[in-house]
Amino acid sequence: MCGIIGYIGTRNAVPVVLEGLRRLEYRGYDSAGVAFFADHRIEVRRCSGKIQDLASLLESENPFSNTTIGHTRWATHGRPSEENAHPHRSGGVVLVHNGIIENYLPLKKMLLEKGYTFTSETDTEVLCHLIEDYSRRCPLEDAVREALKEVKGSYALAVIKEEEPAKLSGSKKTALWLLE
């Protein structure tokens, strides 16, 4: 079990997402992380431990972003560690995920054959690379839709892409929504 949250709007999204993560912390104590836009680039901050550890990490930066996604993790694939913490990044695609991708091993094999490298033990990183692979050919929402056609399992996710900063795509099981 994990908790995910995303915000896109006019307010500073980072404190909004941190407060949401505090309310979701009962869903995971192993690690936490956020991804936010800063200077036309997505910055990722994550750590082992609780939400307070993440908040302390961000305190000195005091980042401002109108779009942020966040995650609190209870480890299912991969041990609790910073490397396995979410958000995960592949190129300009960053995502947070709750659930289990049942067919992640064959997907990972296919992505390895395409030249992707993996830095975590998670099924989530497989999903991130898969969406990034599709995003090379189509907009974010289509990339998410196409990637999820290949995925078996139960999941919810929130995805952002550097080249499309005014979008936050989310999906639960097979339903897709787009916020702009």
Q: Per-residue confidence at 77, pLDDT binned at 50, 70, 90?
A: low
CATH topology assigned to domain 3-179: Glutamine Phosphoribosylpyrophosphate, subunit 1, domain 1 (3.60.20)
Average pLDDT, the chain: 90
Cα-based distances in Å from 144 to 51, 132, 156, 164:
28, 9, 12, 13
DSSP state of 87: P
Note the pLDDT of residue 97.
Answer: 92
Nearest to 46 by CA among 30, 62, 60: 30
* Three-class SS state of 99: strand
Residue 12 has pLDDT above 90, yes or no: yes
Q: Per-residue confidence at 78, pLDDT binned at 50, 70, 90?
A: low
Contacts of 19 (CB under 8 A, 6+ apart): none
Residue 1 has pLDDT above 90, yes or no: no
Query: Residue 23 is encoded by which pair of tokens?
Result: 């309310």
pTM for the structure as a whole: 0.91
- In this structure, which amino acid lies at residue 95? L
Nearest to 95 by CA among 104, 86, 103: 86
Is the sign of the CA dihedral 133, 139, 140, 144 positive or negative? Answer: negative
Is the sign of the CA dihedral 31, 36, 39, 42 positive or negative? Answer: positive
Is the sign of the CA dihedral 139, 10, 91, 150 positive or negative? Answer: negative
| Domain range annotation of the chain | 3-179
Q: How far apart are CA 7 and CA 16, in angstroms?
A: 7
Burial class (CB in 10 A: 0-12, 13-18, 19+), 10: exposed
pLDDT tens per residue across span 18-54: 999 998 887 766 889 999 999 899 999 998 888 899 9
**Cβ count within 10 A of residue 140:** 21
Q: Are 33 and 45 in contact (CB under 8 A)?
A: yes
